[in-house]
Structure 1
Amino acid sequence: MIYVKIYRVQGEVLLAACDEELLGKTFREGELKLEVKERFYRGELVDEDALEDLLNEATIANLTGERCVRKAMELGYVDEGRVLWIQGVPHAQMAKLLF
């Protein structure tokens, strides 16, 4: 399962999504630090397939964890070469350019 939370700010739709088991954890590698904060990510708990509609609507996404990053890659929203790995955990961000 994946935690998802939607933020709507100034016409943008930000999707914060993380794999359930990562919530509340912190990962470090070298100078990099990834905090999977509950106040940012904890929203609705959904299955992986629900991400498709949420990513379609989102203009910005912050994705942490193997399941949600893999789904975003499968749907073409994230390029594998742009995924940041911190202590074995994938993290990706997406922004849609709207014209």
Structure 2
Amino acid sequence: MGYRLYADNRGVPGGVVIVYLSDDDVVGRVERDEEKGIVLRVPEILSEGTLVGEEEALEAIMKADVAVLYGKRIVELAVEKGLVAKDSILWVNGLPHVQVFKFPY
């Protein structure tokens, strides 16, 4: 199993690059947490993305200005590589999600 990668910079000011990455098996999944009032949708457009391996996924995260991650494997990989803090992960019915923003100094 790989990861689905979709990169987008349409309509984003300043040429900001946004990448969406998910575990291949969670594309299109919708999870709800009624108690927290959260609905988490893994975008269907990821199915149009490229199937990539671990190295390509990490490279995409490193090059992106914003990285949006869905799924246990990709989120755990980002944590292992020090790109994401465990306490920043949003869990909705067993589906982890995190967003990484890079700000220029």
1:87 matched to 2:87? The reply is: no
Question: Which deviates more, 3-12 or 77-86?
Answer: 3-12
Corresponding residue for 2:8?
Answer: 7
Corresponding residue for 1:72?
Answer: 78
Query: Computing the radius of gyration over CA atoms, which structure comes out larger, 1 or 2?
Result: 2
Q: How far 1:38 sits from its partner (Å)?
A: 1.1
SS of the residue corresponding to residue 99 of structure 2 reads strand
Unaligned segments of structure 1, at least 5 residues: none
Q: How far, CA to CA, are the matches of 2:31 and 2:57 in structure 1?
A: 23
Question: Which deviates more, 25-34 or 86-95?
Answer: 25-34
| Pairwise CA RMSD | 1.1
Unaligned segments of structure 2, at least 5 residues: none
Match of 1:98 among 95, 101, 104: 104
Residue-pair matches, total: 98
CA offset digits 1:16-53 (Å, max 9, x no partner): 011111111111112111111212x2300112232121
Q: How far, CA to CA, are the matches of 1:52 and 1:66 in structure 2?
A: 15
Q: Which amino acid aligns with 1:4?
A: L
SS of the residue corresponding to residue 7 of structure 2 reads strand
Higher strand share: 1
